[in-house]
Amino acid sequence: MRKEPMQSAPFSELGLSPELLKAVEQMGFQEASPIQTATIPLLLAGKDVAGLSRTGSGKTAAFAIPAVQSVTPQLRAPQVLILCPTRELAVQIAGEVAKLSAYSRGVRELAIYGGQSYGIQYRGLEDGAQIIAGTPGRLMDHLERGSLSLEHIRLIVLDEADRMLDMGFRDDIATILQQAPEARQTAFFSATMPSAVEQLIRLHTRDPQWVRLETRAEAAPNIDQSYYDVAHGSRSGALCRVLEATNLRFGIIFCSTKSSVDGVTEHLLSEGYQADRLHGDMSQAMRERVMRRFRDGKLEFLVATDVAARGIDVDDVEAVINYDIPRDPEDYVHRIGRTGRAGRSGKAITFVTSREIYALDRIQRLTRVKIRRERMPTASEAAHRKAEEMAKLASALIQNRKYPSNNEIAKMLLAEAPAEAAVEALLYLLTNRKSAIAKARNAEHPEKDDHAGTAQPPLPPKNRTEHPTAHRNENSTRRNHDRIRSRSKEGSSFQSDREQDRPHARESRERFRSNRPSPTRSTLEPREPNTDFPKDTQNESRSSRPFKSRRPAPENTAPAWIPKKSAQIHPKTGAPRPPRNSPI
């Protein structure tokens, strides 16, 4: 493998057609990037290529430009097949091909991926799309259905080949490459080249031309890389502090799991940030809508999993935040490649716990870059920096005067407090929204003493260790106190609440006693003891008590067909039961 020097060249020197040169000029490209300068002439010459370059270096145009130029417009059949790991990347590549073929008549592109209707893809294939960008799984479905033919394929490109192998597409890729014609071109492009990808290149290419350019993170000096030490359960609070302290307003936050993506998104929305999520459980329509909002600048932060790390192509991303440190050190390279694209500067921030410090060491060994450690800002520092930024924005608005007028509210506020106090209160409200609102509401409606002006003493504090009945609710405890006080006032400690509610209760009770007949002599005579029941065995143990039936059955209760000697008695109920050979 040879490493090419860092050099660029104008597109006019790469042998492109006039239509392609016009399209490239319209896209705003003046000079080809190093990976484009090294690979476009090789692909136009018909050679197999294995290109390695960091994310954001222009690999998509490096194979899309030769793909457009190699197509024969008169042949309405797939001629170029581009394999990519994710739906977003397939849509992105198809969009790039559409821009490059804007002045090439008869050249059509089509994105084929899972989650989209088969009808749209069937119509695109029937219309004669020549350049197909798709995921391996959906391409295999079309091959099995017979709707996709590889008979006229001239060029196969595997973009992000390492990621496709990690996602388990090795067998699908091998099947597609075996069904394609042997006299074809094959190109591999990726930011990393593990041994599995190298083995795949040796099996399915012929004399490949290896081009290695700036594959590591040390080739991205415009990305400021740092990390923060955080506790295991304090990532959400640390995220908001860092966002306020660094004043970031447009970035991508990467998480390892889908549940973590959902939690971080909800937390950011509750703090007032414009954020949305992106992971594999979302439908394709939802994912496209989220990506469209993010590209249009309607979102401040996009919270995504590693699946989206290979399909997001937005040039002006300010920072990438690794909310969860990536499990694979190579994923770190792909994550931070979302910022600092096209020569711009960017930031890469990583949250690391004490258990993840060894994963950070592996990343530093892979990238050969010393990641700087930053001190976590305190809440007051973050609020102060946010207030400074708000003051700058306010001064800019004062100079432009392009905002709706609120003179009456401003005059009312200045009439109640001096100008400095009003500005301080507004800044505190903007920087500490929740606590400021809580303090303002408490000041507007102070807590009143519930026992003011009453002779009732306050209830004792609830303490389960001192009062065993403290678990009762407050209403029942208050009612008990009211009853005791009412009894003490009336002087009758034995009068019940029912007698208080019913004034004639005592008279009715005395009338009932007077009308009741007096006891007779027979009722006063002592009764004979009942010998049917056993003696008092309360103090005896259960094991020492003999079994006795409370109501023993009479002697002659057995049926006539059972002999008295052979009668079987149920041991628990005492009822007779017939023998097994009984006719009943």
| Average pLDDT taken over every residue of the chain | 76
Q: How far apart are CA 565 and CA 555, in angstroms?
A: 12
Question: Which long-range contacts link 140-149 to residues 24+ away (Cβ below 8 Å)?
Answer: 140/172, 140/175, 140/176, 142/112, 143/175, 143/176, 143/179, 147/121, 147/122, 148/78, 148/112, 149/77, 149/78
| Local confidence band at 464 (pLDDT 50, 70, 90 cut-offs) | very low
| Local confidence band at 156 (pLDDT 50, 70, 90 cut-offs) | very high
Compare 364 and 436 and report the one with higher pLDDT: 364
| Local confidence band at 448 (pLDDT 50, 70, 90 cut-offs) | very low
Compare 551 and 159 and report the one with higher pLDDT: 159
DSSP letter assigned to residue 530: -
Residue with tokens 């004639």, as numbered in its chain: 504
What is the CA 204 to chain-centroid distance, rounded? 39
Compare 325 and 543 and report the one with higher pLDDT: 325
Q: Please report, in angstroms and rounded to a whole number, the separation of the first and last CA atoms in the chain.
A: 97
Q: How far apart are CA 487 and CA 518, in angstroms?
A: 34
Least confident of 184-193, 235-244, 384-393: 384-393
Compare 373 and 474 and report the one with higher pLDDT: 373
pLDDT surpasses 80 at 57: no
DSSP letter assigned to residue 583: -
DSSP letter assigned to residue 3: B
pTM of the model: 0.58
The confidence score (pLDDT) of residue 116 equals: 86
Q: How far apart are CA 474 and CA 461, in angstroms?
A: 11
The confidence score (pLDDT) of residue 161 equals: 85
Give the DSSP H or E segment for 212: strand 209-213
- Rounded mean pLDDT of 282-292? 84
Q: How far apart are CA 547 and CA 572, in angstroms?
A: 9
pLDDT surpasses 90 at 487: no
The confidence score (pLDDT) of residue 533 equals: 47
- Rounded mean pLDDT of 270-288? 85
Return the sign of the alpha-carbon dihedral for residues 188, 192, 198, 200.
negative
The confidence score (pLDDT) of residue 466 equals: 44
The confidence score (pLDDT) of residue 56 equals: 65
Confirm if 72 and 131 have CB atoms less than 8 A apart: no
In terms of average pLDDT, the best of 93-107, 460-474, 483-497 is: 93-107
Confirm if 183 and 24 have CB atoms less than 8 A apart: no
pLDDT tens track for 290-332: 888 998 888 999 999 886 556 667 778 889 999 999 887 778 8
The confidence score (pLDDT) of residue 496 equals: 46
pLDDT tens track for 397-437: 666 666 676 777 777 777 777 777 777 777 776 666 666 66
The confidence score (pLDDT) of residue 378 equals: 86
Rg (CA), the chain: 42
pLDDT surpasses 60 at 502: no
Percentage of the residues of the chain whose pLDDT score is greater than 70:
66
pLDDT tens track for 227-241: 999 987 788 888 988
- Rounded mean pLDDT of 175-195? 87
